[in-house]
Structure 1
Amino acid sequence: MGLFDFFFGNKTKKIQDFKDRDAVILDVRSKSEYESGAIPGSKHIPLQQVKGKISEIKKWNKPVITCCASGVRSGSAAAILKGGGVEAMNGGGWASLYKKLNN
């Protein structure tokens, strides 16, 4: 285990674990950002609306991988979801997450 993995965990392994359990990809960018390109099959809820949609997200009954442009907003969304009782992780920027999901 490298020092980076020790402090931050191995995100690729965690993403694979979530993917194996049929995780939902939740993109929290703005509508215009999402429409300009997104992971096929992802769901879109802008960050500002995530807290108000936790009960809806819980009904998915699946782990959630959040993504955005760089990973900042998705980190906030993952924290909000975890605080609301949803198993969630920050997948970071959507383009890099897409590559990790398809490896």
Structure 2
Amino acid sequence: MCKSTDSPPSPTIEIPGDLKEAESVTVTCSAPAPCPHSPPKLTWTLQQNPPNTMEENPDRTFTTKIQKTLTLTDQHDGFNITCSASYPVNEGKDVKTAEETKTLHVS
């Protein structure tokens, strides 16, 4: 039994460690999937139509995630990454969306 919430959980953007020019980093956006049969659709400003994957967590909940590996340049400094999680509600008739934005700081 899935219950939809009025305010869906925000996605989480993970950016590893210190960002140095010319290094490759893998940026991840993830969001909880309270209803595994109708998980949120994740989209972001890094790429068009990223492939969404779902993972089962140790506590038997599910998480949907997208990943993108970037080779950093000085143009990425100050770049905003926005990830949106669109949750189907009302048996798929409506969508509730939550967003998170993080800024890259490249040295």
Same fold (TM over 0.5): no
Higher helix share: 1
Higher relative contact order (CA 8 A, sep 6+): 2
TM bucket normalised to smaller:
under 0.3
Query: Taking structure 1 as the reference length, what is the TM-score of the superposition?
Result: 0.27
Q: What is the TM-score normalised by the length of structure 2?
A: 0.26
